[in-house]
């Protein structure tokens, strides 16, 4: 679950110039998707991230962990339910480095995209990870992006042999660029 939330905050990179890059990939690693996004962005002469302060909300709309004791599940839903606000700073250096965090960790060999597409202000993908120590996870994402805002719906399902066994979570993330960084933002 922690990786799903970190992934969510990392989605701040989903902004583009005009209609943005046109990227399509199947059966591709995060590194391969990252390379395609970098190449498409360079071809367009644009940047993936407009620098500045980004503010948004993460709304966890559903959590299902059948093996979790009812008291612990209620506590988790109380902590994560509703909307959680966040603020993040995208620096000029981030823009120069063309960071596209949403593609996942390029060094992670345990994940592959069944499909990934990004075009005309829309992005969607299905990422599957198989980690021996954590089990299998499938994350589906669909959303809209623009130069200074994005909206994303994500559905994450995990199964494994750990103490929690199966789990699923649905969330939405909405964010927009609101101006200059102030120094009190979270680090992605």
Asked whether residue 186 is assigned to any structural domain, the reply reads no
- Rounded to 5°, the CA angle 76-90-25 comes to 80
Mean pLDDT per segment of 10 residues, for the chain of length 188 residues? 41 45 89 84 70 91 84 78 85 70 67 91 91 83 86 90 77 93 79
With contact defined as beta carbons under 8 Å apart, do 113 and 127 qualify?
yes
Asked whether residue 184 is assigned to any structural domain, the reply reads no
Asked whether residue 182 is assigned to any structural domain, the reply reads no
Instruction: State residue 9's pLDDT score.
Output: 40
The pair of structure tokens assigned to 23 is 């990227």
Number of domains in the chain: 1
Q: The whole model's pTM is what?
A: 0.77
Asked whether residue 188 is assigned to any structural domain, the reply reads no
Asked whether residue 20 is assigned to any structural domain, the reply reads yes
Asked whether residue 149 is assigned to any structural domain, the reply reads yes
Instruction: State residue 87's pLDDT score.
Output: 92
With contact defined as beta carbons under 8 Å apart, do 21 and 122 qualify?
no
Asked whether residue 148 is assigned to any structural domain, the reply reads yes
Residue 90 belongs to domain spanning: 2-176
């Amino acid at each position: 679950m922690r990786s799903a939330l970190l992934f969510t905050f990392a989605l701040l990179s989903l902004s583009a110039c005009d209609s943005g890059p046109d990227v399509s990939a199947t059966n591709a690693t995060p590194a391969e998707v990252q390379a395609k996004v970098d190449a498409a962005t360079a071809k367009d002469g644009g940047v993936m991230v407009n620098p500045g302060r980004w503010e948004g909300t993460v709304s966890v709309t559903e959590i299902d962990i059948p093996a979790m004791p009812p008291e612990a599940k209620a506590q988790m839903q109380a902590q994560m339910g509703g909307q959680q606000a966040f603020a993040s700073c995208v620096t000029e250096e981030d823009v120069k480095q063309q960071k596209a965090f949403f593609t996942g960790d390029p060094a992670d060999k345990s994940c592959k995209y069944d499909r990934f597409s990004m075009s005309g202000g829309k992005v969607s993908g299905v990422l599957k990870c198989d980690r021996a120590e954590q089990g299998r996870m499938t994350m589906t994402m669909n959303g809209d992006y623009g130069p200074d805002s994005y909206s994303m719906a994500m559905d994450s399902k995990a199964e494994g042999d750990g103490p929690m066994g199966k789990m699923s979570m649905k969330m939405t993330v909405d964010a927009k660029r609101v101006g200059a960084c102030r120094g009190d933002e979270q680090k992605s």
